Structure 1
Amino acid sequence: MIEKTLKQIQKDVDSLITDFGGYWPPLSMLASVVEEVGELSREINAKVNIKHKKASEPTNSIGEELADTVFSLICLANHYKVDLTLELKNVLEKYRKRDKNRFN
């Protein structure tokens, strides 16, 4: 099976958002990122028994919450025409150089 590239995923998200009427305003999209990170935090807290969920609260997978967060971040990237493939390549190189002796 051939996996999609990040560039293809950005296009898929753009197509979906276009079908739904377009992107939200940037601050609303940022609020969505924060909301999704909060939901991810809630799931991790429950998983490691730091803060138990109520019986009435749904249990979502950590993977689902991570994917929701990534989706929200891709929406922001698309709005600002950010090539995440290029930016992630650059940030990995930055960490390689900056941290090459940091954890020895």
Structure 2
Amino acid sequence: MQKGGAGTLSQKSLADIQKEVDAYIGQFKEGYFSPLSMLARMSEEVGELAREVNHHYGEKPKKSDEAENSIEMELGDILFIVVCFANSLGIDLADAHDRVMNKFNTRDANRWTRKNVEP
């Protein structure tokens, strides 16, 4: 189990997260953005994550007047927009995850060297 923000343990399922985001968006007349707008927004957020990763692990230090953002918050922003995107298209992310894991477990079953495998 992973720690949530501020040292708390999060036990939300993907379904819980999707419902929480839907309730948040549902209180506004504008609702979800169009798929193209969400894709653009996702691209923006991934760029912000790339910038933070570059500051923390790359050769590009922050400028002295740049705001302090965290990789955790940028990943949270990406998760939010992914959930918005899925909700707007009626996609159950837990089901999508299960389907993707099945694909990796079958297609890539022998692709990588496994740890602690006895002959």
Instruction: State the superposition RMSD in angstroms.
Output: 1.4
Please list, as runs of the form range in 1=range in 2, the aligned pairs for 1:53-72 lying within 5 A after superposition. Answer: 53-72=62-81
**Across the two proteins, how many residue pairs are aligned to each other?**
104
Between 1:69-78 and 1:44-53, the stretch displaced more is: 44-53
TM-score between the two structures when normalised by the length of structure 2: 0.82
- State the shift of 1:97 in Å: 0.9
Question: 1:79 pairs with 75, 79, 88, which one?
Answer: 88
Question: 1:98 pairs with 78, 90, 107, which one?
Answer: 107
Please list, as runs of the form range in 1=range in 2, the aligned pairs for 1:1-104 lying within 5 A after superposition. Answer: 3-21=11-29, 22-104=31-113
Aligned-partner residue type, residue 24 of structure 2: L
Between 1:31-40 and 1:52-61, the stretch displaced more is: 52-61
Runs of 4 or more off by more than 4 Å in structure 1? none
Using the aligned pairs only, state the percent identity.
46
Q: Which runs of 5+ in 1 are unaligned?
A: none
Larger relative helix fraction: 1
> Which structure is richer in relative contact order (CA contacts within 8 A, separation 6 or more)?
1
